[in-house]
A and B are shown apart, each in its own frame.
Chain A
Amino acid sequence: MRMAPKPIQSFRDDFTYSNSPGAIARFPFPFPEDEYMYSVNIEPHVTPGPEGSVYEHLLDIDEHYLSEMHERGLVLEENPKRCLAMPHMDLACWDMIERVMESFSNDYPEYFALTKEGDNWTWENKLLNLKDSFVFGDSSTLPLPPMEYIGRQVQGDFALLDQRDGDLFLDAGIVTCPADWSLAFDAGMSFKDWHGPVPMAHEMGIFDRALKYLCAIPQGRPVRRLNWTLTVNARMDTSPETYPMWGTDRASVTPENVGEKVHLRVELQVLDRMPRSNALMFSIRTYLISLEDLVTNPEWAKRMHRVMKSLPEQLIEYKGLSRYHPMVVEWLSQFDPAN
């Protein structure tokens, strides 16, 4: 890992979260064109990707590792139901444990180590000072239920999608930094049902095509896509559960503080077929960057302005940007020479 973990910073209250110049440089800027529209923007996640990039490894770890694991702990302490696994997903959870431990210990050997003697495994996470021995597949030998155990050691939200009847069902997950969706409510839903509230994309046939593509993903051929929204303050937990706590943030943006307060929130989503359960592991890795930091890259600044300016009204509404979107466009316009 080229991004050594920093000491813990906060994603709430005083919001001490910050990106180093290195983290800004590797930020996954999501706009390939000056206008944004939905597309089936799924591509093979071939690893290793470019050295040092967020695509280098199957699962990216960066300087925010300790901060995000701390934040996850706070969320779960407040509401343990932010992690859920239906009984039939136990095997898929163990698939996930294997996938995370194998890839972490290979990709970041300075921080993680896995030793196996048959089904007797020992896992060491030097970043969190953990060393646990357990019997693979036997949930009673772990200190926590399998989804929570591994979910507390990996950045980003995770869902395990059960595949049956040509559909994908949201039957397990650990979701503490969602862009406004509730695992507790969406649990058990089919692919199209949990995307129910998304405007326009259903009519465009996006979900029909995406579902076919995802159901056909074979083992060892993970895929990825980027998704994005805007978030006021560096708040990881923008869940419906806590919306009463953060809703007023959206009314706190002013022309003076917009560059500092408004963050581009990008999700690097990776889907990977699990070997035993045939479930899809769906990782949603969230990156936050303030507009102030984003505009240090002139190309991004210009494009961000054009994308924001041409964003369809339905998407502004759906993404919850209505209250401050005009201020974002106005502030960004100073970085676009065409303006």
Chain B
Amino acid sequence: MPDEPLIKSRPTYTEVSLRPNTQKHLFVSTAQSLSRIRSLYEAAPKGEKALYLFGKPEVTDLGTECGSLSELDVVINALPLASAVYVAGDEGFLWDVHNLAEKAGLASEQIQLLAPESNKRRLFCTHCYAITEEVTYSPHACSGCGRLLLVRDHYSKLHGAYVGVQINAEDPADIPETEELV
């Protein structure tokens, strides 16, 4: 079991397994995470599975390359009713795909997310609402307003992002040391 997060909105990820009684198993993965989802994909019954990849994988004998989330949206909307979706990648990507699948009518138990492939976070600035991608340390400058943001553990699944709040708003001189995020 993963450790209970201090902030309850932070998602936890459990072991992913093939869902029984499923017409179609759809695997969605970044190139980087292919090695982590590959054995699960191979274990799924032939003819009832598909793999969509984001980015160029080193191994090219597997899957279909998918250019964008909107392409994937078409694929997901064409799935039969009893389908299952498995997603691997960075955390923001996991929730983007999750939200797409949910919008297409899949129940949350039909969507399984592998633990994020890295500590890279998507950051939502509460001051200007800009998104900063691939944040690995805190505090971090906002890509929109430039303010130095404390990266908190409070998470929005809708935005697929953590919240960022200006760290020195009370005392401009008080800037703590940079810390690596986990």
Residues of chain A at the chain B interface (Cβ within 8 Å) = 81, 182, 184-189, 192-197, 202, 240-244, 246-248, 250-251, 323
**Pick from A193, A250, A251: contact of B8, CB under 8 Å:** A193
Asked whether A194 lies within 8 Å of B171 as measured between CB atoms, the reply is no
List of B residues within 8 angstroms of A240 by Cβ: 126-127, 163, 165
Residues of chain B within 8 A of A193, CB atoms compared: 8-9, 155-157
Q: With a CB–CB cut-off of 8 A, which chain A residues contact B9?
A: 189, 192-194, 196-197
Q: Which of A194, A195, A197 has the most CB of B within 10 A?
A: A197
A247 touches B129 (CB 8 A): no
Q: Is B158 on the interface with A (CB-CB < 8 A)? A: yes
The closest CB in chain A to the CB of B169 belongs to: A247
B interface size (C-beta, 8 A): 24
A-B contact pairs, 30 of them (CB 8 A): A182-B126, A182-B163, A184-B126, A185-B124, A185-B154, A185-B156, A185-B163, A186-B156, A189-B157, A189-B158, A193-B156, A194-B9, A195-B8, A196-B8, A196-B9, A196-B155, A197-B7, A197-B9, A197-B154, A202-B8, A240-B126, A240-B165, A241-B127, A243-B126, A243-B127, A246-B169, A248-B169, A248-B171, A250-B170, A323-B170
Interface centre among A81, A196, A246 (most CB of B within 10 A): A196
- Is B152 located at the chain interface by the 8 A CB criterion? yes
CB neighbours (8 Å) of B8 from chain A are 192-193, 195-196, 202
Known: A189-B9, A197-B154. 15 other contacts (CB 8 A): A182-B163, A184-B129, A185-B124, A185-B126, A185-B156, A186-B156, A189-B158, A196-B9, A196-B153, A196-B155, A202-B8, A244-B166, A248-B169, A248-B170, A251-B170
- Give the top 4 A-B pairs by smallest Cβ distance, nearest first: A247-B169, A196-B9, A240-B126, A188-B158
Closest CB of chain B to A129's CB: distance in Å?
A: 34
Q: Is chain B's binding surface mostly helix, strand, loop or mixed?
A: loop
Closest to A247 in B: B169
- B contact residues around A192 at 8 Å (CB): 8-9
Residues of B9-43 whose CB lies within 8 A of A: 9-10
Looking at A182, A185, A197, A248, the one whose CB has the most chain B CB atoms below 10 A away is A185
Task: Check if B120 is an interface residue, CB within 8 A of chain A.
Answer: no
Q: Is the CB of B156 within 8 A of A188?
A: yes
- Within residues 27 to 85 of chain B, which ones have a CB less than 8 A from any CB in chain A? none
Residue of A with least CB distance to B99: A188
B121 close to chain A: CB less than 8 A: no
Q: Which residue of the partner chain B has the closest CB to A187?
A: B158
- Taking CB atoms, residues of chain A closer than 8 Å to B169 are 243-244, 246-248
Contact call A196/B154, Cβ cutoff below 8 A: yes
User: Complex Cα distance A244/B124, Å?
Assistant: 15
Residue of B nearest to A242 (CB): B127
Residues of chain B with a CB closer than 8 A to A189's CB: 9, 156-158
Counting chain A CB atoms within 10 Å of each CB, the highest count among B7, B124, B169 belongs to B169
Residue among A188, A244, A246 having the largest count of chain B Cβ atoms under 10 Å: A244
B147 at the interface (CB under 8 A from A): yes
* Smallest CB separation, A168 vs chain B (Å): 14
**Cβ–Cβ contact A241 & B126, under 8 A:** yes
Q: What's the least CB distance linking B91 to chain A, in Å? A: 15
> Given that A240-B126, A248-B169 are known contacts, is A185 also in contact with B157, CB under 8 Å in the complex?
no
Of all chain A residues, which has the CB nearest B128? A241
Closest chain A residue to B161 by CB distance? Answer: A185
In the complex, which residues of chain B have a beta carbon less than 8 angstroms from the beta carbon of A244?
127, 147, 166, 169
On chain A, the residues within 8 Å of B156 by CB distance are: 185-189, 193
Q: Which residue of A lies closest to B107 (CB)?
A: A165
Which residues of chain B come closer than 8 Å to A182, judged between CB atoms?
A: 126, 163
In Å, the complex CA distance between A182 and B156 comes to 11
Query: Are the C-beta atoms of A243 and B157 separated by less than 8 Å?
Result: no
